[in-house]
Structure 1
Amino acid sequence: MSNKEAKESRETGFFSAIVAAPFGAVGIRCEDQKISELVYLPPRFQEKAPSDKVAEKAARQIAAYLENPDFQFDLPLKEAGTAFQGKVWHAISSIPRGQVLTYGQIAKHIRSAPRAVGQACGANWYPLVIPCHRVTAAGGLGALPTMMMKPDSTLV
């Protein structure tokens, strides 16, 4: 086994499952019968079969969402983040598919600062489930990973 293969083996071992996505892959981490983190991964990561029922449910739902962006997630998520981040994530979760708001618009809604909203988006443990990709900087996409863009420049 090469060093690269050994490193990737160690990296994939941290995930309970890995699901292929148009932008690469999504790594699923589970802990105590809950999803503890979803991670965007580059295309070099191979799919990994779920190691437990929670990871299997998450993998099925992520695949369903990628097929139909109107799909509504129903996953057991481990509590994460601060109270403020939770407030931001709750506000973001109400943004319907096809609509994009700015950090400033979310900040105004929750009476905060745009930069703080951006930082909460960056700390999101559950991308796709909490759709921070529907929030952008006032002047453009902000820190959105380029792998989240489809070839036709639309958001996943």
Structure 2
Amino acid sequence: MRSSVVIETIIGKIVITEENHTITNVDLYRDAVIENFFQKETPLLKKAVKQLEDYFKGTLKEFDLPLAPNGTKFQQSVWRALQDIPYGETKSYGEVARSIGNPKAARAVGMANNRNPIAIFIPCHRVIGVNGKLVGYGGGIDIKEILLGLEKSVK
């Protein structure tokens, strides 16, 4: 059974979804109005909300949640590599490609990053351009900047 909860954060509304006792989606809605949305808070969603709140307060640097993102084998490998990027640090798309043993796959890493269904918990915001510039983030570059700024200020 799927359950979801909407929370308000410093970057806007976030919807966290659980299915089969794992987190399957974290969606950023910024200032969108979410109407007719059925919420059911479960013990796992309460834990996820608490961890996300602590992350935004700067008191949590590593999430401890069962995650189950749906994607291809390649996407899964990228998403696992993203979880290895330490809090407050960044890697380029090329560095992530090399870390999964596919050094020529920087563009494919970018596409997998773009399709990450579990934002923040799988920290795709920590991936930057080879020149150090903030590029490509589904939630918007301004949100990526806020998340990286938060992590740098607490580190």
Distance 1:95 1:53 in 2: 27
Change (3 A) 1:51 1:70: closer
Residue 81 (structure 1) aligns with: 71
Residue 150 (structure 1) aligns with: 146
Distance 2:44 2:100 in 1: 32
Note the alpha carbon deviations across 1:44-99, whole angstroms, 9 max, x for none. 458x9752222111111111111126432111223521221121111111111221
TM-score, L = length of structure 1? 0.77
Cα offset for 1:32?
Answer: 2.1
Distance 2:150 2:41 in 1: 30
Give percent identity, aligned residues only.
30
AA of the residue aligned to 2:94 = G
AA of the residue aligned to 1:73 = F
Distance 2:24 2:51 in 1: 15
Deviation >4 Å, runs of 4+:
none
Residue 124 (structure 2) aligns with: 132
Aligned residues: 141
TM-score, L = length of structure 2? 0.77
1:1-156 equivalence runs, <5 A: 16-45=4-33, 51-68=41-58, 70-112=60-102, 113-139=105-131, 140-144=133-137, 145-148=140-143, 149-150=145-146, 154=149
Distance 2:135 2:66 in 1: 29
Change (3 A) 1:36 1:52: same
Note the alpha carbon deviations across 1:20-48, whole angstroms, 9 max, x for none. 222112211122222120001113458x9
Structure 1 unaligned spans of 5+: 1-13
Instruction: Give the CA RMSD over aligned residues.
Output: 2.6
Change (3 A) 1:50 1:65: farther
Distance 1:61 1:49 in 2: 18
Distance 1:63 1:154 in 2: 16
